[in-house]
Amino acid sequence: MTYGLVMLAVFFGPMVEAGDLSVSVGPGQAGPVTWQEVSFEYQVGPAGGWQARLVGLAQHDGTYLGDWTASCAASPEVALPGCELGQLNWRLDEDIELTANFSVAQGDDEWQVAVLGRGWELAVNVPEQRPADVQAAAVFRDFDLSLLPKILLAPAGLTLLEGRLNGQARWPVDDSLNADFQFEAVNLDTEDGLIAAEGLGISLELNVSHLEQNPHWSGKLSQHAGEVLAGPVYLPAPQQPLRLEFAGRLDGSQQWRFSRLDFTDPGALAITGSALFEVGDDGPGLTALELGEIEVKLPAFWQRWAEGPAGQVGFGDLQTQGAFRGRASWSFERGWAGNATVDRLDLFDPSGRVKIEGFSGSLGWEFEGSESDLSWDELEVYGLPFGSSRLRLKRQDAGLVLLAPLEMPLLDGAVVVDQLSWQRGDDETAGLRMDARIRPLSLTRLTRQLGWPEFGGQLSGEFPGIKYADERLGFSGGILVKAFSGTIALDELAIERPFGTLPALSAQVQISRLDLLELTGAFNFGRMEGQASGWMRDLRLLDWRPVRMDTRLFTHEDVPRRRISQRAVENLSSLGGAGGALMTGTVLRVFEDFPYRRAGLACRLANNICHIDGVARHESGGFYIVEGRALPRLDIIGHRRLVDWPQLVAQLEAMMD
Nearest to 2 by CA among 65, 84, 68: 68
Helix (H) or strand (E) holding 310: helix 307-311
For the chain, percent helix, then strand, then coil, each to nearest 5?
10, 60, 30
Nearest to 581 by CA among 536, 532, 530, 526: 526
Query: Quick one: residue 538, left, alpha or beta (phi over 0 = left, psi -120 to 50 = alpha)?
Result: left
**For 581-587, which contacts have Cβ atoms below 8 Å and span 24 or more sequence positions?**
581/626, 581/634, 581/635, 581/636, 581/637, 582/634, 582/635, 582/636, 582/637, 583/632, 583/633, 583/634, 583/635, 587/632
Question: pLDDT tens digits, residue range 443-499?
Answer: 889 888 888 777 777 888 888 888 888 888 888 877 888 888 899 999 999 999 887
- The DSSP secondary structure of 5-71, one letter per residue, reads HHHHHHHHHHHHTSS-EEEEE--EEETTEEESEEEEEEE-STT-EEEEEEEEEEETTS-EEEEEEEE
Per-residue burial over 108-137, b if 16 or more Cβ lie within 10 Å, else e, is eebbbbbbebebbbbebebeeeeeeebebb
Burial class (CB in 10 A: 0-12, 13-18, 19+), 519: buried
Torsion angle of the four alpha carbons 78, 79, 81, 87, in this order, in degrees rounded to the nearest 10 = 30
Looking at residue 584, its pLDDT comes to 43
Looking at residue 130, its pLDDT comes to 74
- The DSSP secondary structure of 242-282, one letter per residue, reads EEEEEEEEEETTTEEEEEEEEEEETTTEEEEEEEEEEEETT
Kindly list the distances between the CA atom of residue 496 and the CA atoms of 314, 468, 475, 493, in Å, as whole numbers in the listed order.
13, 9, 12, 10
Contact 536, 550 (CB under 8 A): yes
Question: pLDDT tens digits, residue range 227-263?
Answer: 999 988 999 999 999 999 999 998 876 788 999 999 9
Domain extent listing, the chain: 484-655
Contact 269, 297 (CB under 8 A): yes
CA distance 226 to 238: 8
CA distance 187 to 145: 10
Helices 566-576 and 645-655 pack at an angle, to 10 degrees, of 170
Nearest to 65 by CA among 24, 41, 36: 36
Residue 452 φ/ψ, nearest 5 degrees: -90, 165
Kindly list the distances between the CA atom of residue 588 and the CA atoms of 568, 629, 635, in Å, as whole numbers in the listed order.
12, 15, 12
Helix (H, G, I), strand (E, B) or coil at 307: helix
Contact 120, 98 (CB under 8 A): no
Looking at residue 5, its pLDDT comes to 45
Looking at residue 148, its pLDDT comes to 85
- The DSSP secondary structure of 67-99, one letter per residue, reads EEEEEEE--TTS-TT-EEEEEEEEESSSS-EEE
- Greatest alpha-carbon span in the chain: 135
CA distance 265 to 257: 24
Question: How many CA atoms lie within 13 Å of 19's alpha carbon, on the beta-carbon side?
Answer: 1
Nearest to 525 by CA among 647, 654, 611: 654
CA distance 95 to 210: 41
Low-confidence residues in the chain, pLDDT < 70: 1-19, 45, 47, 75-81, 94-96, 131-132, 173, 253, 283, 398, 425-429, 576-591, 657
Contact 63, 74 (CB under 8 A): no
CA distance 463 to 484: 23
Residue 27 φ/ψ, nearest 5 degrees: -55, 145
Contact 417, 433 (CB under 8 A): no
**Beta-bridge partner residues of 642:** 611
CA distance 297 to 320: 10
Looking at residue 3, its pLDDT comes to 43
Output the CA angle 474-477-483, nearest 5 degrees.
115
Helix (H, G, I), strand (E, B) or coil at 646: helix
Helix (H) or strand (E) holding 652: helix 645-655
Nearest to 583 by CA among 619, 631, 551: 631
Looking at residue 429, its pLDDT comes to 67
Nearest to 222 by CA among 189, 265, 179, 193: 265
Helix (H, G, I), strand (E, B) or coil at 568: helix
Q: What's the DSSP call for residue 151?
A: H
Q: What's the DSSP call for residue 453?
A: P
CA distance 511 to 528: 17
Looking at residue 451, its pLDDT comes to 82
